[in-house]
Chain A
C-alpha cells in the first residue's frame, strides 16, 4: 500500500506562503525536462534529464497490483515481485541485486494495490546495465519450482517480521477488509493471506507472468545524467524484440456500498495502548474532490500545528499520536484517521472530539491561515519530493501509467492551489456521513483475557 501521491507528500511534505515562494516552486516543477516515447511493442518510455550528479535512476512500472488478484490468490502480485529478482535467461539467481550493488548501485521493488514497480539507481556510466537487467527479466524470467519455494518462504517470513510480530500492524489490514467489504480488489491485503501463500501453485505464477509482464503493460522511466538519444538506442536494443501480448483490462467491480456505520473491536496481543481507525469512503485519487479532501487531511493531521495533534495530543493529552490521510488509490479511496490513545483513555473520547471537529469544518470551514499553510506545505512537498533522480523517475512513471501522461505531474500543484475554503466545507459535508464510516477499535491483549476480566 503506500501509494503514489501519498509518497510524494511524504518525501516532500507540504507548503504555502508568500507568492514568491509559490512562483519559485512552480518554476522548479515546470522546469522538469520530460520527454515521452514508445516502442512498437507498446512499451512506454519517460525520460527526464538532470545532470546535477552523475547518477541515473531507472524505474519500470507494471500495471498490475494486488487489486488484480483472484480470490484465493491473495499476495500473488507481491510474491511475483520477489520472483523478479530470481534470475532470467542471462542473469543468475541473486545476480540482479549483486550486479547492481557490485557496480555501485542500489535496487529494489515494491508492490501496492494498484501497481508493481522495480527500480535502481546507478552511477550514470552504468545506464546500460540497468536497462539490460530490466529487459532480460521482462523477456525471460526463470520461474523454477526451487526459486519459487524459496521466495514463498521469504515472503512468509516478511509477513511474520513486518506484520504478525508487530503491534497494531494487523489492524492496518483489518480496517481495509472492513471498510471495503465486498470490494475485493482493495479489501484484501497486498502481502496476502498466509494460507493463500501456502497454497500458491507454480503454474499460477507462470500464468501471472504471461498475463501481466508484457511490454505493453509497462512504463519505463529514466531520470538523471544521460543522453536521451543514447538511452533510446539502448532501449530499442534491449526491449525492442520483446513481443507484445494481450493483457486483460482491469474489470472494475461495482464501487463499495455501505448503508450503515460499521464497527468492530479487535484485540492485539502485541499492543499496550488502545487505538482506533476511522475510515470514510471517498472518490479515487485525482478526482476533483480528492484534492480538497487531501488539503482537509493536512489541516486536521499534518504536523504538530495541525488541529488534531494540538487538540488530542497536546491540549487534551488523550492521544499518544494521531495521523490523518487519504490512501490515494486509483479506485475508490478512503479518508482515514489512525490514533493511538494515551494510557488511561478510551478510543471513544478521541472519536467524539474528531467527530465534532469534522462537524465544525462542515459548518464553518477552515481558517484562511490553515488553508494557506496546507497549500504552502504541499508546495514545498513538491520541491523536496522531486529532488532525487529516483523520486522523479518514480513519480513520472506513475503519472504515465495511471493517468496516461507523465507531464500531468507538472500541472498537479495547480489543482491543490485551486482548492478553496468552500470546496473544503463542501467535501466535509459530502463525505463524512456516519453511514459511510467504519470504526475499528484496537484493544491490547486477547479477546479471551478481556472476557475473563
Chain B
C-alpha cells in the first residue's frame, strides 16, 4: 500500500523536510559541552526546572563493511545486521544525470525506469509478479551521480531476488513496445509536474544556477522523451553498467562470504569495462544577485529558493559548512525556522541545506510563504544569510548545532536500509571507511571562527540567485529593493523587468514589515 499512502494526507506538525534534515554523529558529547548548553538555559529562565541531564552515552559506529571484489572488479560491500530476517541489496552504477548526453537530458532516469520493463528472459509483468509474490520490493532510479537498482526482501530470499536484480540490471530488453508506453506515461507526468510550484521552482533554480553544468538539469523534458530511441538506451546501458563502474551494497541478516558468492554468480558475467568519467561543464560565474520570478497566476503561496554554488561533498570544508548551515537552517531548531515560522508566522517551514554532490554542490535556503508576505520573507532570508556570512555563531548555538550533528548518529544506523545509505554515501563521494567516526570528531572540533570562515566563502547573499514561483503581480516589483528582478512565464518568456533599487552599498536592506 506504499502507493496508496502517497495520496493520503497526513497532517504533520512539521514539514517532512525537517525529518530529512536529520544528520549524524554518535559518541556522547563531552560533558563540558553539555554543561554549556544547560547553563545557557538556566541563565535565561532561572525560575524554571531544568531539563534532565543525559545519562552516560553509549558509543555506536557504523558496523564493519566487508569488502570483496568480483573478477570483473565490481566491488561488493556487506554489513551484517542480523536483528531481523531481512536483507537490503543496492546495486549502484556510478553514472547518473551527470552522464546524460546533452541532447537527451534525463536519459539515465529513463534507462532506470526501463530496467523493470522487461529483460531478455522475463516480461515486465513477470518481473513484478515474481518479486511481489516473494513479498519483496524492487526499485530502480537515478540521481545526479548514480543509477540504482535495489531490492528489499526477507533474508532467505536473497539468492532469488539477487537473481532477478542482476537480470533487471544486466539484461534489459528495452523493448520498443514498453518504451512507447513509458514515453506516454512520462509525457503525462511532465505535464502534471508543470503545475506543481515546488517542481517549477526547483527546475528553474538549478537551470539558472548551473547553466550547462549537468547539475543544471533536474528532470527530462518532453522533446527528449519524444526523441529518445531504444538504441540510445542500450548504448548508455552498455557503456555504464560495467564492473569497474559499479558496486553492490548488501546489509541485513546475511553472511558476507555467501553474499560475495551470490554476487559472483549473478553479476560476475558483466564486463569489467572502465570507470566512467563525467564531463562537468563550467557553471556560470555569478558576480551579483539576481532575482527571477516565475509567474503563476492564482498561486496562493510563493515558493522561494535562494542560493549559490558552494562545495563538493568530499571537500574537508564541507564539515564546518555543515555546522554553519545547522545554525542557520538545518532543522526546526535553527534560525530560519525559529524566525520565519515561529516568530514572524510567514511560513509552515523555512530551512537551508548544503547539498551532497561529487562536483560543486549548491547551498540552498527555501520556504513556501503566503503571497502577501513574499517580500518580507525575502528580506528575512537575506538578513539571516548576511548574519551567518558576517558574524560567528553564538557559543550556545554552535554547541547545539554540533551536538545535533554528532549525537544524532545512532538514529542514522538503526535499520539495515539506513546502513546501506551510509555505505553508498562513502563510495559515491570517495570517503574512507572510517569516515563516519572521524566525521563526528571533526564536527565536535569545529570552532566558531572555522564555521564562519567557510560560511563567508560558501553562503554568499551578495551574489545569490533567488527564484520565486508565485503570483508575480502581487510582489515582483517590490523585490527591487533586493536586486534586479526579472519576471518570466513558466516556459521562460520574459514578461517584465524591474531595475535594481538596493540601498547603494548593495546590502540586503533587511526589510521588516508588519505581520499581516
Contacts and interface: CB of A to CB of B under 8 A. Distances in A.
Classify chain A: how many residues form its interface, as a range: 35 or more
Contact of A383 (B41, B49, B85): B85
Given A50-B83, A165-B368, A172-B7, 13 more contacts: A53-B414, A54-B58, A101-B331, A102-B333, A104-B29, A106-B18, A125-B56, A189-B9, A191-B9, A297-B1, A298-B1, A302-B3, A320-B185
Contact of A157 (B133, B299, B368): B368
Contacts of B153: 380
B187 A343 contact: yes
B4 A301 contact: yes
A231 B313 CA distance: 41
Contacts of A154: 341, 345, 347-348
A104 B414 contact: no
Given A150-B342, A301-B4, A102 B403 contact: yes
A394 interface: no
A67 interface: no
Contact of B4 (A127, A168, A323, A342): A323
A91 B191 CA distance: 47
Contacts of A89: 48-49
Interface of A: 1-2, 6-7, 9-10, 13-17, 20-21, 24-25, 28, 50, 52-55, 78, 81-82, 85, 89-95, 97-99, 101-106, 108-112, 121, 123-129, 132-133, 149-150, 153-154, 156-158, 160-169, 172-173, 189-191, 225, 269-273, 297-298, 301-305, 310, 313-314, 317, 320-321, 323-325, 327, 338, 340, 342-343, 369, 372-373, 376-377, 379-381, 383-384, 387-389
A170 to B, nearest CB: 10
A93 B342 CA distance: 9
A26 B29 CA distance: 39
Interface stretch (B124-132, B208-216, B426-434): B124-132
Interface in B113-140: 116, 124-125, 128-129, 131-137
7 contacts: A2-B10, A6-B8, A108-B19, A154-B348, A158-B11, A314-B125, A373-B132
B22 interface: yes
Contacts of A173: 9
B95 to A, nearest CB: 25
B410 A387 contact: no
B4 A53 contact: no
Contact of B6 (A127, A323, A369): A323
B55 interface: yes
Interface in B378-411: 399-401, 403-404, 406-411
Contacts of B196: 166-167, 270
Task: Output the residue of B10, B132, B157, B196 with the most chain A CB within 10 A.
Answer: B132
B410 A104 contact: yes
A106 B132 contact: no
B57 A125 contact: yes
Given A55-B410, A93-B342, A302-B132, A25 B85 contact: yes
A132 B4 CA distance: 36
In the A-B complex, the 4 residue pairs with the smallest Cβ-Cβ separation, listed nearest first, are: A104-B407, A380-B135, A15-B135, A98-B333
B369 interface: yes
Contacts of A95: 41
Contact of A17 (B45, B56, B135): B135
Nearest to B400: A102
A266 B465 CA distance: 39
Interface of B: 1-14, 18-19, 22, 25-26, 28-29, 37, 41, 44-45, 48-60, 83-86, 116, 124-125, 128-129, 131-137, 152-154, 156-157, 181, 184-185, 187-189, 191-192, 194-197, 298-301, 331-333, 338, 341-343, 345-348, 368-370, 399-401, 403-404, 406-411, 413-417, 515
B345 A380 contact: no
Contacts of B128: 303-305
A28 B133 CA distance: 20
B132 A21 contact: no
B9 A108 contact: no
B7 A149 contact: no
A271 B195 contact: yes
B157 A303 contact: no
A338 B7 contact: yes
A320 B188 contact: yes
Nearest to A173: B9
Contact of A10 (B4, B58, B195): B4
Contacts of A121: 411
A163 B9 contact: yes
Contacts of B409: 104
B183 to A, nearest CB: 11
Contacts of A189: 9
A323 B400 CA distance: 43
B413 to A, nearest CB: 6
Contacts of B18: 106, 108
A384 B1 contact: no
Given A102-B333, A112-B11, A165-B300, A383 B5 contact: no
Contact of B51 (A94, A99, A161, A301): A99
B300 A273 contact: no
Nearest to B85: A24
B3 A106 contact: no
B168 to A, nearest CB: 12
A275 to B, nearest CB: 10
A101 B404 contact: yes
Contact of B84 (A129, A340, A383): A383
B133 A373 contact: yes
Contact of B301 (A93, A123, A157): A157
A383 B347 CA distance: 38
B1 A6 contact: yes
B132 A54 contact: no
A132 B191 contact: no
A97 B332 contact: yes
Contact of B185 (A24, A298, A342, A372): A342
B133 to A, nearest CB: 5
A106 B11 contact: no
B84 A387 contact: yes
Contacts of B403: 102-104
A369 B414 contact: no
A338 B449 CA distance: 54
Given A132-B52, A387-B84, A304 B4 contact: no
Most buried by B among A54, A81, A104, A163: A104
A371 to B, nearest CB: 11
A89 B12 CA distance: 24
A36 to B, nearest CB: 23
A167 B192 contact: yes
Nearest to B299: A165
A191 to B, nearest CB: 5
